[in-house]
Every structure is written in C-alpha cells, then in structure tokens.
Structure 1
Amino acid sequence: MRPKLSVLELYSGIGGMHWALKECGVDHEVVLAVDINTTVNGIYKHNFPSTNLQSFSLEKLTLEKLESLKINTILMSPPCQPFTRVGKKGDCQDVRTKSFLHILRLLDEMKVKPEYLLVENVKGFEVSQTRKELVSCLERCGYVYQEFLLTPLQFGIPNCRLRYYLTARRGKNFAFNVQSQVRSAQHASIENVNWSQQHCSNTINETRCSEHIQKKTVDSDGSSVVSSEGPHTRHPDSCPNETGHLNSHTGAGPLEVSQDDIEAARGNSFALRDAGRNMRYCEDDDDVINAGSKPLWQFMEHLSRDELADYWLSDKELRLFVIMDIVFPALKKSICFTKRYGHYVDGAGSVVQMTTNVEDVRAASEFKSCVVKLKNRTEWGEAELYILRKLQLRYFTPREVANLLCFPPQLEFPPGLSRIQKYRVLGNSLNVHVVAELIKLMTQEVTT
C-alpha cells in the first residue's frame, strides 16, 4: 500500500513527472505545476487541461503560498545548464540555479514538510556545490535520501540518457538499504534494488510499444534542420533500385516500411553491425545491454514516403557524416537526444540508417575511415555523396524520440508547433519510465 501523493511539480516542462505518476499507478493529485516557459506550458495544458498549471518565477514562491498547498510530495527537474559537461559550470553562481536554492530555503522553513522529494538532473550535478546544498538541506530537515546515476539502457530501453536522480523520504526509511555512494549501473543489483534490465524492462508494456509504432505524427511545417544556414534542398534519390533495402525505390523519398522489411533488417543485423561499426558509438561498451534489451524498431513509426520526406538528410547534412552516430532499427542503443536535435548533428542524437544492404554500409564505413585518415571533409564530389546517399539516412521523428523517452501514445502536441520546437522540448525532458520506477521505489512501504 502507498499513500496518496499530493504533488507539487516544479519545472514541470511538458509533464514528464506527471506522465511518470500516471505510469507508476500510485494514487496521486498534482496540486500545482509550475514552469515559466510558455511553449512547454502550452503542451502541458493541452495534455492535462484540468491541472492547476501556473507560470511564474519560482523565486516569487512564498512560504505562505507553499504551505497553503498542503502537498506531501515535490517532484522537480531544475535547469541543467549550470552543471552540463559542455557548459560553463556556473553551479551556484549561475542565475538559473537561484530558483532551486530558493526552494531549498523554503523547505528549511516549512513547518509541515513534504514526505517525499524527487530531483532529476544531468550527470555532473552529483559533484556540484548545488548538490552539496541540497543534501545539507535534506539532512537538516530529517530526510533519508538515496542518489542514483541511471540510464534507460539499464531498463532495456535503447537510448543512452545518463541522469542524476535523488529520492528522499522524511520520517520513514526506504524499503531498501540506503548507501552513501551514488548508485549507478555498476551497483545495479545491490541488495533488493535491482536496476538490471531483466527486472525493469518488462514493466514497459508490449502493447504500449505496439501502439507507439502504429501512431503516426505528421509534420507539415517544413522548417530547416540545418543550423543557422537557411533552408536546405533535399537530395533527389540517385540510388538504383536494389533488393536488400528497407526502402528500395526510385522516387524522391523513402517508401513505407513493411513488417517484412523489419524482419529482413532484424535477420541481417549481425552483418550490418559489423559492416558499420565505425559509424556509431558501439553497443559493446555497455554491459547493461543484453539479449533482453529492446531494439529500436519497437519504438519506431511505420510511416509513408510523404510522412518521412521531411526527415531525409540533405546533401549539406550528409557532409557532416563523419561526426554522426548512425544506427539502424535492429540495434539496441541510440545516443542521448538533446534540444539541438534536428538543428545540429554533432552530439545532438542518433540518425537512422534505413538501408539493410551490407555492401552499401561497408562502402560508407570504408569511406569514413579514409576521410578520418586524410582529414578531408570538404572536397567531396558526386561520387562521395553517392556512397552516403545509399545509406538512406534520416532523423528520428519527434514521436519516435518521445517513444524512446517513454512518453505514452496519449502525449499530444498542440497544433502550430514546428518540428524543431518539438525536438527542443523533448530534448529538455526526462525519461518517463525511469522516473516512474523511482517513484514506486521511493513510496514503497517497508514490510516486516
């Protein structure tokens, strides 16, 4: 048995914490959600119209207002920019951290403190001064807490999104033994907290995955996916019609992917994996990936030629081929999607190789080796681009990115959002399934 959660959802974004509450099945009510971003608030309100969503700077939240909510749970994902690996690491001095530190001060002052607290942030937060302020506050306020570094790969989800999480509980111990160090993939099966994919991935309902695949998203905005360089022209298909492709065609874009195509790709996956190994971050470096992990195709859409046309990489984008992480549907890993996805390709997320022709993949792999060796990425002509076009590269669609973040099929975007806006808000979000598992763990009662 778990108590009903009366939740304050801070930095609510597009509602990742709210969707996690719904997935984990704990009785709950989101008393108040707060975010200052008008775009994400529009998405949140579209999906949760009855929730009390407000837009204001959290530094304006008063102790009186907070205590009047009578909440017993706070869920929050504070701004991550002050702690990212590539950022300036302003930490407590970054203006974007001020609201979080204000919340900690209010927590210190509350007469009736919430029983549960969950915080999500990027890897790097765990070594920050802000994290020290957080745990000092929790210790003063009588909380038991546990920190985690978790990736969806541990749950059988084919997306690498390593994040820091903290769960805290006041007045009672957790139903597991707390450890002073941050629990991570290396401590996956310690005691009765089993974060191995064998234990957790089965909680992702297969029917839901099927719904993900069948649901279609149609984007008609046609906005540019090349950073600061204006609209691009998509290449004409100059590849000959050959067997062995997911989309063998002579038209201007990929054809619909059939179940037979998917089966062919799965059957050919070992050869494809070996042929294109240098074009991606390999799966082999992740011990948590195994036979029970789910392949990407379970999270991908069945889309027609017209629906996929806007996701096909242009010749201009293909010239950035060397720095791309290129995956195909049978693989069990993709790299983290960021808010820059669809706008940049350098470290912003994986792109999909739709061909299953091993020789075409091998030719592209050899071409990459030559380019890296000669340090030549600019003097490419038609012959070089022809090799890359045969890979049939495309971006993951926003719906597919949402699937990999475990948002349910019920997540909808309001009309008028561009594709780039969808990528941006998803890149700033969290993995719903991982948070749902943490909420269940955090609220589990100790049994004797």
Structure 2
Amino acid sequence: MHGFFLLHVSHTHGLQKHSADARAFSFIKILNLMQNMSYPPQMLFVENVVGFEVSDTHDQLLEVLSSLNFNLQEFILSPLQFGVPYSRPRYFCLAKREPMRFQNASVNNKLLRTPMCLSQTVTSTSQDSDHQTEEEQDPVCKPVKDFLVKEADGCIQNGTILQDYIVPPNLIERWGNAMDIVYPESKRCCCFTRSYYRYVKGTGSLLATSENLQWVPEEKLPISSLKELRLRFFTPREVANFHSFPSSFWFPDHISFRQQYAMLGNSLSVAVVGPLLRYLFAEA
C-alpha cells in the first residue's frame, strides 16, 4: 500500500491570500505531483487552520482528489469535543482512493463538526451541529487542574512556581485587559500559539494561581486586582499535556523555553488526530 501523510498550514486569516500565500506553494506543488504519479497515495490526511475550507486552495484539493477517485470526509474538530479543556479547532480532510472505502460512507463529501461519525455506528450526519459552539457539541471536559504539572515534574519547587513562568508586572500593566485568564477549575483555555511566552496578547491563556481571589469572566478586573491573581504562563510540559502528548514526551535540555513553546504551538492535538487516524486506517 502506498500511503501518504500530509500536514500543512496555508490559509491566512487576515489577508485572505488563499493560494497566493507563499505558504501554499508547497501544498499546491504536491497536488500537481500527485496527478502525475504512477502510484498515487492510497490514503491522505490533511490538517489546516479553520478557514482553509473556504479557500481556493481547498477547491484545488477537492478537484485533485476527485480526479484521482478518492472518497473523502472533512471535519472541523477541537480537543474540547474529546474532553480536553483546550479550544483549538482545526480543519481535517481524510481521503481513501477507490476501491477503499470509509466505514461510514454515508458522510462522504460532507464537512462535519462533530466526532460522532468516527465511531462505527452513526445515527445522523449531525448537520444541526454546524451552528453549535464547541461546548454545546461536547460540554464534558476535565478541569484545567488535571493538566498542570506536579512537583515531581521539576517545574514546581516547595510549592512555588519557578520565577521563569510568572507574568512580569509590567506586562500586566500594559496588556492586562487583553489577557485570557483561567483558573485550575476552568473547563476551557485558549489555543496556544508559537508566540506564547514571548507575548501575552492573543497567544494563549494565563493561569491564576492565587487561592484568595475568584475570577469572574464577565467582568474586567482593574490592573491592581490582576496583579493579585499571581498570573503565570503554562509550562511547556502543561502545554504538551493540553495537546495530549504522552507523559514520556520531553524536550532535550538545550531547547530553550521559547523554542519549546514555538514547536508546541505548531503541533497537533493527539486527542483529535489519534481517533481520526484510527478511523482513516479502519477497514470498511
């Protein structure tokens, strides 16, 4: 069997360049090569940011897959739908070339926003879920505290978080009103980007570690109160936990914090990709 595994990000939210984005060139090159292969891949897995599904690059993907007789199923899924308190919706395309078929062929050529059809039995295509929020689709998530490092992990000493992870007061003064703050009991945190730890605005959530204050999301606390929350960055190990990496995963000592966060920000959610791959490789 000639397999093929592809991961790529080509869509730009702000400029909407689509296929004109330089990051799409390699993707389009691969699509063109596939049409001239003597032995095209039999299975294809594509991951991308949300928005790719309405780009012209996506249209080219579907055109090529159709010309090569692929059955395909598309998804927009988030770890929140798999019990992980982490909002990271992503686009996925699974494709099998004829005569290979999916176990749930009734949802071929549909864009699904639920993981329901990843099981062997499907009662509906969940079309009504297209306008649901991630929480409405699967509201049962573990709390953030289940993903925090323990003292044995080396990130906590004598019950105190290492100073490297504490958010400096000057950053709170400048960006406090733009920070996304979560507590250990929270059931959701924002997506961590490759710029997490270097910047605090729009790069991921911060953890409030004070035990004396209660965070009210609907209200904006004054800067003085934010400083009392004892905010800290999530550690690289914790970000890896939100991505459902195994406990055996670790970075070499020479990899800096910033490099670790950058690689994690560009990585995948194992909780989401694992079931998708099992479904892709399952025989009909």
- TM-score category, normalised to shorter length: 0.7 to 0.9
How many angstroms apart in 2 are the aligned matches of 1:85 and 1:94?
11
1:350 corresponds in structure 2 to: 205
**Quick check: 1:135 aligned with 2:65?**
no
Alpha-carbon offset, residue 307 of structure 1? 5.2
**CA distance 1:365–1:393, change in 2 (3 Å):** farther
Matched AA of 2:170: K
How many angstroms apart in 2 are the aligned matches of 1:170 and 1:318?
53
Deviations 1:302-331 (A, max 9, x none): 222565221111111112121111111111
Show structure 1 runs of 5+ residues with no match: 1-70, 195-283, 372-383
1:333 corresponds in structure 2 to: 188
Alpha-carbon offset, residue 439 of structure 1? 0.7
- The answer on whether the counterparts of 2:195 and 2:262 sit within 8 Å (CA) in structure 1 is yes
Alpha-carbon offset, residue 365 of structure 1? 7.6
How many angstroms apart in 2 are the aligned matches of 1:169 and 1:307?
48
2:40 corresponds in structure 1 to: 113
Matched AA of 1:352: L
Alpha-carbon offset, residue 179 of structure 1? 3.7
2:234 corresponds in structure 1 to: 396
1:309 corresponds in structure 2 to: 163
**CA distance 1:154–1:433, change in 2 (3 Å):** same
- Residue in structure 2 matching 1:84, options 12, 18, 35: 12
Tell me the secondary structure at the aligned position of residue 96 of structure 1.
Answer: helix
- The answer on whether the counterparts of 1:324 and 1:346 sit within 8 Å (CA) in structure 2 is yes
Alpha-carbon offset, residue 181 of structure 1? 2.9
How many angstroms apart in 1 are the aligned matches of 2:30 and 2:47?
15
Deviations 1:380-433 (A, max 9, x none): xxxx53x22221110000110011011112222123211111111111111122
Matched AA of 2:74: E
1:184 corresponds in structure 2 to: 113
**CA distance 1:112–1:361, change in 2 (3 Å):** closer
**CA distance 1:442–1:189, change in 2 (3 Å):** closer
Show structure 2 runs of 5+ residues with no match: 124-132, 151-155
How many angstroms apart in 2 are the aligned matches of 1:416 and 1:352?
26
Deviations 1:179-201 (A, max 9, x none): 4331014x84699359xxxxxxx
How many angstroms apart in 1 are the aligned matches of 2:71 and 2:85?
32
Tell me the secondary structure at the aligned position of residue 316 of structure 1.
Answer: helix
1:145 corresponds in structure 2 to: 72
**Quick check: 1:72 aligned with 2:13?**
no
How many angstroms apart in 2 are the aligned matches of 1:128 and 1:322?
33
How many angstroms apart in 2 are the aligned matches of 1:285 and 1:115?
32
**Quick check: 1:429 aligned with 2:253?**
no
How many angstroms apart in 2 are the aligned matches of 1:170 and 1:179?
12
Deviations 1:5-43 (A, max 9, x none): xxxxxxxxxxxxxxxxxxxxxxxxxxxxxxxxxxxxxxx
How many angstroms apart in 2 are the aligned matches of 1:285 and 1:180?
22
Choose 1 or 2 for highest CA Rg: 1
**CA distance 1:125–1:394, change in 2 (3 Å):** same
Alpha-carbon offset, residue 345 of structure 1? 1.3
- The answer on whether the counterparts of 2:81 and 2:134 sit within 8 Å (CA) in structure 1 is no
- The answer on whether the counterparts of 1:352 and 1:394 sit within 8 Å (CA) in structure 2 is yes
Q: What is the TM-score when the length of structure 1 is the normalising length?
A: 0.55
How many angstroms apart in 1 are the aligned matches of 2:255 and 2:113?
36
How many angstroms apart in 1 are the aligned matches of 2:20 and 2:191?
27
How many angstroms apart in 1 are the aligned matches of 2:91 and 2:281?
19
Matched AA of 1:173: R
How many angstroms apart in 1 are the aligned matches of 2:51 and 2:215?
36
Matched AA of 1:84: T
For 1:10-89, list aligned pairs within 5 A: 72-78=2-8, 80=9, 82-86=10-14, 88-89=15-16
Alpha-carbon offset, residue 434 of structure 1? 0.9
User: How many percent identity over aligned positions?
Assistant: 35
Tell me the secondary structure at the aligned position of residue 211 of structure 2.
Answer: coil
Matched AA of 1:313: V
How many angstroms apart in 1 are the aligned matches of 2:69 and 2:194?
37
How many angstroms apart in 2 are the aligned matches of 1:146 and 1:434?
15
Alpha-carbon offset, residue 90 of structure 1? 1.9
- Residue in structure 1 matching 2:135, options 273, 286, 290: 286
Tell me the secondary structure at the aligned position of residue 73 of structure 1.
Answer: coil
Deviations 1:320-354 (A, max 9, x none): 12111111111111111111111111111000011
How many angstroms apart in 1 are the aligned matches of 2:189 and 2:12?
20
**Quick check: 1:174 aligned with 2:102?**
yes
How many angstroms apart in 1 are the aligned matches of 2:183 and 2:122?
32
How many angstroms apart in 2 are the aligned matches of 1:394 and 1:288?
30
1:412 corresponds in structure 2 to: 250
How many angstroms apart in 2 are the aligned matches of 1:425 and 1:154?
23
